[in-house]
């Protein structure tokens, strides 16, 4: 089970390349290093199961989560490319894709975001992040966030499945969000829906969450 991960949220201009590279080293290359260690023996035994804790953000990018989403997209692409070869050796690969999970991980991430310096971006972007994104994120976590125990139960079901699924989303509320991309290959439907949700109907979003 690969579960190591770090988060990053905020305007792109305010994040250093060193911090981005460190995040990718943990979230993506950490997984790659683990798989390189365990896969050869699994192939020799012709049996095994690699379970990767991914994220709904591996399927759908979210505003102000550019680098974190990129790391999870990388995880998804890596596993999607590997799964067919692995099946040849009777090795299963499963991606567990949670939405928001209420842990100290998120608490620390948002505390750091509230204290961060946003002087390297323009005032409008800083205002959107601090007064719109952070506020809505707290409501989303309060309303839709799952507990770590719930994610553990989902992961256990994936591990114990007779035919382990390649992808398993833990929060049904996020299924329509991921489906938007497949409904319109041009990306226009998804982009328009998210733009309106963030910038036109945010008050409706907060009201519905409460």
Please report where in the chains the tokens 């991914």 appear, as a residue. 54
Q: Which listed residue (68, 118, 133, 195) is catalytic? A: 68
CA-CA-CA-CA dihedral for 107, 7, 176, 80, to nearest 10 = -150
Active site residue 133: no
Annotated catalytic residues are 68
């Amino acid at each position: 089970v690969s579960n190591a991960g770090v988060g990053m949220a905020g305007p792109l201009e305010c994040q250093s390349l060193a911090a981005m590279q460190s995040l990718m080293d943990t979230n993506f290359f950490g997984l790659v290093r683990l798989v390189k260690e365990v896969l050869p023996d699994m192939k020799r035994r012709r049996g095994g199961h690699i379970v990767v804790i991914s994220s709904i953000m591996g399927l759908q990018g979210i505003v102000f989560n550019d680098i974190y989403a990129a790391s999870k997209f990388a995880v998804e692409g890596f596993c999607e490319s590997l799964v067919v070869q692995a099946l040849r050796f009777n090795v299963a690969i499963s991606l567990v894709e949670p939405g928001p999970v209420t842990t100290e991980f998120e608490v620390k991430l948002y505390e750091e975001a509230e204290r961060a310096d946003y002087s390297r971006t323009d005032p409008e972007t800083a205002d959107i992040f601090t007064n719109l994104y952070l506020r809505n994120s707290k409501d989303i976590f309060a309303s839709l966030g799952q507990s770590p125990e719930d994610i553990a139960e989902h992961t256990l079901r994936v591990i114990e499945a007779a035919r382990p699924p390649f992808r398993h989303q833990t929060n049904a509320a996020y299924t329509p969000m991921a489906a938007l991309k497949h409904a319109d290959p041009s990306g226009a439907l998804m982009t328009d829906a998210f733009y309106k949700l963030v910038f036109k109907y945010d008050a409706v979003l907060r009201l519905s969450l409460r």
